[in-house]
Amino acid sequence: MDRASDVAITGVGVVSSYGVGASPFQRGLLHGQAGPRLRDLSSSPIFAADNEQIFGLGCLEAEALLPRTSLTGVGWEAKLAEAVALLALIDAGTNLEHLLPERIGIAVSAHYSGLQDYAEQFQAGACDPDGMVSATRGPRIGFNATAGYAGIALKAEGPNVTLLNGSVGGIDALIYARNALSGGGVDAMIVCAVDVVPAVLAPVLQERRGTFPPRPFDTRRNGPTLGDGACALLLERAVDASNDRRRRVVPIRSAVTIMADDLQDACTEALRGSLSEAACTPGDIRACFAGGNGSRAGDHAEATAISRVLADEPPAICAIRGGIGHWPAAGSLAQIGAGVLSMRKLRIPPTPGLRTLDPEFQIRVNSEATFVRRGAAIVSCWDADGLAGAVVLGP
């Protein structure tokens, strides 16, 4: 069996400003909702700032999902990681209890993880004469705290890694998990990321304030807006999952990340590379889940790349960050999740926030939900530092 098709996504778990679970996520996207749930970042007692709008989470709803035996004394990042992992298992119709713990691994993409705890612990220990560093909160300053807590909560004793690569990190985590499964060392990998916008960022966000809600690929786009969210994908070998005919299996046909001197080149090479690895032509692609987040330069680079690579057989294009905000670590996984969910129903969402497509872009971006024929989907994401990633999803 060739490697490109031997690993599949079998479950999707999402907590977003649309709600808890894959169904509200898909429903919200299909309805083209934008701008729900503002969260006030100015509530931090340490880092005062004017009210900053982000796509906030209904965190209490996530808490309601957690089993009673779950970890205590942990932060929201750990709780959300466990929640979306459980949601992915529910979506997959499995609890993995048939597997030995050492055969289950976790790969996490992180970005702001631990930043707020770092800032507050430093403030308490070094700046506040009456402050004290908490031994309970101390471990949370690490980037890998989320993965560590998830491993404990899920009793996953296989590989456990945290990868930092900005908006492309989710694809790096996917590649890591895919390699682990292809190698036969594990039987299931949970690929996960959590973004909880830290309050310490509020002064920085003030200076970068863009259009709210963001308008991916829109002629009046004026920058991204951060969002809270978390996503987990369950990966298994396709042959294992397919033994149960009730399981839904979406093969990962390719996953690439590219670094280039120019972002447009990186996006172009990532798209071409993923098609090549998947042995696909542009005509095989029914939908493109783009990373467009309302950035003037980033959206331009990606749109140009998409038109270069996919112009001959343009697919339906959707940019979900118009509806959920920009998730630095988890965004690419959410795009992949949206791709999986959409290809199950063969229905591609619109791009929330898009009113008027930038006339410079020679691409067709969905302004309403469309039906597509069965085929492959491509996920495109990019990071402002000149990195890009792309994933081709089955059939």
Partner 1 sequence: MPRRTHEIVVTGIGVVTPLGNTVDTFWSNVLEGAEGLRGLSRFDVGGLSSAVGAEISSPNPGEPKGRHGLEWALGAATQAVSDASLLQCGIDPRLLGCALGTVTGTRPALEDAITASGGLASDCEATRMWENPALASRTVARQLGALGPNCTLATACAGGNSAIAYGAEALRTGRADAMVVGGFDEISLASLLVFDSFRALTNDCVRPFDLNRRGLALGEGAAALAIERREDANARRAPVLGTILGWANVCDSHHITAPHPQGDGAARGMRLALANAGIDPSDVDHISAHGTGTIANDRAEARAIQAVFGDIGEGSVPVTALKSMIGHAQGAASAIEAVACLLALRDGVIPPTINHDTQDPECALDVVRCSRRPSRMRVALSNAFGFGGNIECVLFAS
Member of 59, 66, 90, 133 binding partner 1 (CB under 8 A): 133
What is the 8-class DSSP label of residue 218?
Answer: B
Minimum Å distance from CB 155 to partner 1? 6
Window 280-339: residues binding partner 1 (CB under 8 A): none
267 Rama sector, left if φ>0, alpha if ψ -120 to 50, beta otherwise: alpha
Residue with smaller CB distance to partner 1, 59 or 259: 259
The footprint of partner 1 on residues 42-81 (CB under 8 A) is 47
**Nearest-CA neighbor of 7 among 159, 190, 178, 257?**
178
Contact flags string 200-239 toward partner 1, x per CB under 8 A: xx-xxxxxx-------------------------------
Q: Which is nearer to partner 1, 40 or 61 (CB)?
A: 40
Region from 33-41, 134-142, 280-288, 368-376 binding partner 1, contact rule CB under 8 A: 134-142
Is 99 among the residues that bind partner 1 (CB under 8 A)?
no
Please identify, among the stretches 28-36, 165-173, 332-340, 346-354, the one whose residues bind partner 1 according to the rule CB under 8 A.
165-173
Nearer to partner 1, 163 or 275 (CB): 163
Which two structure tokens, joined as six digits, stand for 27? 């429903």
Q: Give CA–CA dist 323/129, Å, rounded.
A: 43
Is 110 among the residues that bind partner 1 (CB under 8 A)?
yes
| Residue 50 DSSP one-character state | S
Under 8 Å CB-to-CB from 269, ≥6 apart: which residues?
A: 258, 260, 388
Q: Which of 65, 147, 188, 234 binds partner 1 (CB under 8 A)?
A: 147
Return the structure tokens found at 312: 């001959």
DSSP 240-297: HHTTSTTS--EEEEEEEEEE-SSHHHHHHHHHHHHHHHHT--GGGEEEEEE---S-HH
Using alpha carbons only, give the angle 91, 287, 259 rounded to the nearest 5 degrees: 95
b/e per residue 249-266 (b: at least 16 CB within 10 A): bbbbbbbbbbeeeebbbb
Smaller CB distance to partner 1: residue 111 or 300? 111
Chain-centre distance for alpha carbon 240: 25
d(CA 310, CA 283): 8
Three-state SS at 39: strand
Q: How far apart are CA 299 and CA 321, in angstroms?
A: 11
**Residue whose CB is less far from partner 1, 158 or 323:** 158
Q: How far is the CB of 268 from partner 1 (least distance, A)?
A: 13
If binding is defined by CB under 8 A, does position 351 make contact with partner 1? no
Both tokens assigned to 263: 């972002």
- State which residue, 66 or 259, has the beta carbon closest to partner 1: 259
**119 forms part of the interface with partner 1 (CB under 8 A):** yes
Q: Report, in Å, the least distance between residue 186 CB and partner 1.
A: 10
Among 253, 359, 370, residue whose Cα is nearest residue 307 = 359
- For residues 247 to 286, the per-residue mask of contacts with partner 1, x marking binding by CB under 8 A and - elsewhere, is ----------xxxxx---------------x---------
Judged by CB under 8 A, which of 19, 21, 169, 325 binds partner 1?
169
Closer residue to partner 1 (CB): 71 or 311: 71
Q: How far is the CB of 122 from partner 1 (least distance, A)?
A: 4
Residues that bind partner 1 in the complex, under the rule CB under 8 A: 2-4, 47, 101-102, 105-106, 110-111, 115, 118-119, 121-123, 125-127, 133-135, 138-139, 141-145, 147-149, 151-152, 155-166, 169, 172, 176, 179, 182-183, 185, 200-201, 203-208, 257-261, 277, 385, 387
